[in-house]
Chain A
Amino acid sequence: MEEQFAKLDIRKDENIVYKRTPLLVDRPLSYCPGCGHGTVHRMLMETLEEMDIQDKTIGISPVGCSVLAYDFLNIDMLGAAHGRAPALATAIKRMWPDKFVFTYQGDGDLAAIGTAETIHACNRGENFVIIFINNGIYGMTGGQMAPTTLPGMRSSTSPYGRDEKTMGHPLRMTELVAQLPGTYFVTRQAVHTPNHVRRTKKALRKAFENQKLNVGISFIEVVSNCNSGWKMTPVNSNKWMEDNMFPYYPLGDIKVDGKIVEPKAVTAKAGE
């Protein structure tokens, strides 16, 4: 009893320094503990709250772990078919040009089944934000190989490790779309440390501000962990991500204000 009273005491309004933004629905997230989705959700909603555009934003969730994102994000949303979010966003933004529109997609959704929709929305220079969560695996369906799975990396459909000769190479979608004239801001971020979280939020703000300029796609990749799919503890998965994912998917801005800024990022390989 005493302990409970103490908790209630601590929860007094004047003691609260960090709380749920009202743009997140008050319900438990469906993501595994340790996963980065929840952090990205929060940064995204904080951005909309700070810009005061909740009533002007329409979001599109994918098929994948974040299929239920619309249950957590307190804005109007549409759940797209697998890979098709950029097609939905294209039509919505063209017919509601004053709205802020974003897609939230995983690597299977954006870089495998939805490659055509991603490339063509970027190439047309549509004026919305693409948030791309890359954890190198199909999380929701149980850890199968993704287009972004690293060479040698084990998954349930590459149980002996990804063999590049027969299974192809990990796809760097972000470098690819940066080459298209229709993209205006292309960056790769992470959310596993407070510093990276802050950078991701800054990128989100910039991406949504860009929509006011009507200048093309803002594309934010967030390299994230999948401790369940990778079969690691959250802490180990973050370490593994730093050691293995970041060399292949180097963090940082690739294109800012329509100009490529870091061509060396394109050549980095795993293990270098």
Chain B
Amino acid sequence: MGELRLMKGNEAVAEAAIRAGCDGYFGYPITPQSEIMEYLMVEKPHERTGMVVLQAESEVASINMLYGGAGTGKMVMTSSSSPGISLMQEGISYMAGAELPCLIVNVVRGGPGLGTIQPSQADYFQAVKGGGHGDYHMIVLAPASVQEMSDFVKLGFDLAFKYRTPVLILSDGAIGQMMEKVELFDPIPRRTNEEVIRQCPWAATGKPKERDHIIITSLDLDPAGQEKINLKLQAKYRQMKKDEVRFEMIQCEDAEYIFIAFGLSARICQKAMDIARAKNIKVGLFRPVTLFPFPAKAIAEISKKVKGMLVVEMNAGQMIEDVRLSLDSPQKVEHYGRFGGIIPAPDEVVSALEQQIIGG
């Protein structure tokens, strides 16, 4: 059993980063995620593990610091909230194109624009469809607890290096701010420079006599070359869809209806499920854990066993598009959403199920 602590989601991310052997954190303050860098600054990870923590001049600088660090094989991360993540999109696209591993945490707040500092899930499209320019994806992990805020930092780094890709943790203001019990994983030592050079032969670490010089770039002016890079990326995404789909099903065995929800919405749906079952409505919960790759097959399968599905999101209907694309045949699927920082109450979710799916 690992060390147990009562922590905020944001603090769990920060502690997990130190324990995962992260080499560098680069960030810029924004509510509701500033505790991540604050926790790191207090903890002095430079003394604990040698990890670098730097407050950058902007989110644009932060993401490009990640590009530099990742291009030299280091394990780097940043965190921000919606407007800041929007600013990072160019850099993320460059990193996807140059095939660089990194971890980005988005503690989502309501938008558009400056929006609000309250929780939201309205950045789903931006997270799973690419966000920046060009044909690329990130692996997107959606934590629904403080425990997963910690666990997904380690998982995120593992996947980032396995696929040489940016990985995004799509959290929200509530998961970031709420306190829960966390079982922390045991610290993993940071890699030595020699280990980095050995593990990342693709990285720019200084050219020894015996090898060619390494160039980290997303540029290839020759269309044939650029198409080759694109095909390589697409092959990588197919592999992710095959091997990295993660989801959770709760009380789906006897379910006549299901909620489909990720992150905080899934937590709300768990309570809604209890209320509904007390009223003899047999409802289960399907929770995508990876939003990209999306659990399309599993959703197609379960859709055939139920009478209807309600997609519950804190947005105007984003994941529901991926749910609909997953289905082989027309199924009853509706959306219930609140936006702009409003968190739906469990009983309004049950009412939505009754009105839109059961009675609809």
Q: Check if B68 is an interface residue, CB within 8 A of chain A.
A: yes
Q: How many angstroms from the CA of A191 to the CA of B98 in the assembled complex?
A: 33
Structural contact, A94 and B24, CB atoms closer than 8 A: yes
Report, nearest first, the 4 A-B pairs whose CB atoms are least far apart: A88-B68, A79-B217, A87-B64, A76-B204
- Tell whether A77 is near chain B: CB-to-CB under 8 Å: yes
Bound-state Cα–Cα, A26 to B101, Å: 31
Chain A's closest residue to B56 (CB) is A87
**B213 contacts the other chain (Cβ, under 8 Å)?**
yes
Using Cβ atoms and an 8 Å threshold, which residues of chain A touch B62? 87
Q: How far is the CA of A80 from the CA of B71 in the complex (A)?
A: 10
Most buried by A among B193, B206, B218: B206
Q: Knowing A58-B205, A58-B206, A88-B71 touch, does A117 contact B215 (C-beta < 8 A)?
A: no
Contact size class for B? 35 or more
B47-77 at interface with A (beta carbon < 8 Å): 52, 54, 56-58, 60-62, 64-69, 71-72, 74, 76
| A95 contacts B216, C-beta separation under 8 Å | no
The CA-CA distance from A78 to B74 in the complex, in Å, is 14
CB-defined contacts of B67 to chain A, threshold 8 Å: 78, 80-81, 84, 87-88, 91
Q: List 30 A-B contacts (CB under 8 A).
A: A55-B209, A57-B207, A60-B68, A70-B213, A74-B207, A76-B207, A76-B213, A76-B214, A77-B204, A77-B213, A77-B215, A78-B72, A80-B67, A81-B64, A81-B94, A84-B91, A88-B71, A89-B68, A91-B24, A91-B52, A91-B66, A91-B76, A92-B71, A95-B69, A95-B74, A96-B74, A99-B206, A116-B61, A117-B57, A120-B57
Contacts of B69 in A (CB 8 A): 91-92, 95
Taken together as a complex, chains A and B put the C-alpha atoms of A57 and B207 apart, in Å, by 8
Judged by a CB distance under 8 angstroms, whether B23 is at the interface is yes
Inter-subunit contact B205/A87 (CB<8 Å): no
> Does the CB pair B207–A75 fall under 8 Å?
yes
Contact with B along A82-105 (1 / 0, CB 8 A): 001001111110111001000000
The answer to whether B58 touches A95, judged by C-beta atoms less than 8 angstroms apart, is no
Measured between alpha carbons, how far is A54 from B206 in the docked complex, in Å? 7
Could you give, for residues 190-230 of chain B, a 1 whenever the CB lies within 8 Å of some chain A CB and a 0 otherwise?
00010000000000111111000111111100000000000
Q: Across the two chains, which residue of chain A brings its CB closest to B71?
A: A78
Interface size class of A (residues with CB under 8 A): 20 to 34
Q: Does A67 contact B (CB under 8 A)?
A: yes
Chain A minimum-CB-distance residue to B215: A70
B66-103 near A? 1/0 per residue, CB < 8 Å: 11110110101000000000000011001000100000
CB-nearest residue of chain B to A97: B52
Interface contact A88-B64, CB-CB below 8 Å? yes
Look across to chain B and name the residue whose beta carbon is closest to the beta carbon of A60. Answer: B68
Is B26 in the interface zone, CB < 8 Å from A? yes
* A74-B213, A77-B213, A78-B217 known; A58 vs B61 contact (CB < 8 Å): no
Q: Does A71 contact B (CB under 8 A)?
A: yes
Say yes or no: A91 contacts B204, CB within 8 Å.
Answer: no
Partner of A90, one of B68, B213, B218: B68
Partner of B219, one of A79, A94, A117: A79
Q: Mark A42-55, 1 if CB is under 8 A from B, else 0.
A: 00000000000011
Q: A81-B64, A96-B72 are in contact. Are A76 and B57 (CB under 8 A)?
A: no
Chain B facing A: main interface SS: mixed
**Alpha-carbon distance A84/B92, docked complex (angstroms):** 13
Number of A-B residue pairs at CB separation under 8 A: 127
Query: How far, in angstroms, from A57 to B72 measured CA to CA in the complex?
Result: 12
Assess the A67–B72 pair: CB atoms within 8 A: no
Contact A70 B217 (CB under 8 A): yes
Report the bound CA distance from A120 to B64 in whole Å. 13
User: Known contacts A87-B56, A87-B61, A91-B24: does B215 contact A71 (CB below 8 Å)?
Assistant: yes
Shortest Cβ distance from A90 into B: residue:
B65
Kindly list chain B residues whose C-beta atoms are within 8 Å of the C-beta of A73.
213
- When the two chains form the complex, which single residue of B193, B208, B214 contacts A96, counting CB atoms closer than 8 Å? B193
Q: Let me know if A56 is at the binding interface, CB within 8 A.
A: yes
Bound-complex Cα distance A73 to B214 (A): 11
Contact of B72 among A54, A58, A70 (CB under 8 A): A58
What residues on B are CB-neighbors of A120 within 8 Å? 56-57, 61
B219 contacts A67, CB within 8 Å? yes
Bound Cα distance from A51 to B71, whole angstroms: 24
In whole angstroms, how far apart are the Cα atoms of A57 and B60 in the complex? 25
Question: Which residues in B have their C-beta under 8 angstroms from that of A68?
Answer: 219
Query: Smallest CB-CB separation from B62: which chain A residue?
Result: A87
Contact B57 A78 (CB under 8 A): no
Beta-carbon contact of A78 and B68 below 8 Å:
yes
Decide: A79 near B216, CB < 8 A? Known: A58-B204, A95-B52.
yes
- Kindly state the separation between the CA atoms of A88 and B60 in the bound complex, as whole angstroms: 11
Known: A79-B217, A79-B218. 18 other contacts (CB 8 A): A58-B72, A58-B204, A74-B213, A76-B204, A76-B206, A78-B67, A78-B72, A79-B216, A80-B68, A81-B94, A87-B62, A88-B65, A94-B24, A96-B72, A96-B74, A96-B193, A117-B57, A120-B56
For B61, B193, B214, B216, the residue with the greatest tally of chain A CB atoms inside 10 Å of its CB is: B61
Contact of A95 among B72, B90, B207, B218 (CB under 8 A): B72
Contact A91 B208 (CB under 8 A): no
**Contacts A84-B64, A87-B64 known; A92 to B219 CB distance under 8 Å?**
no
Complex alpha-carbon distance, A77 and B57, angstroms = 24
For the complex, give the distance between the alpha carbons of A90 and B61 in Å: 10
CA–CA, A57 and B213, complex, Å = 11
- Name A61's closest neighbour in chain B (CB-CB): B217
Is there an interface contact between B65 and A87, defined as CB atoms closer than 8 Å?
A: yes
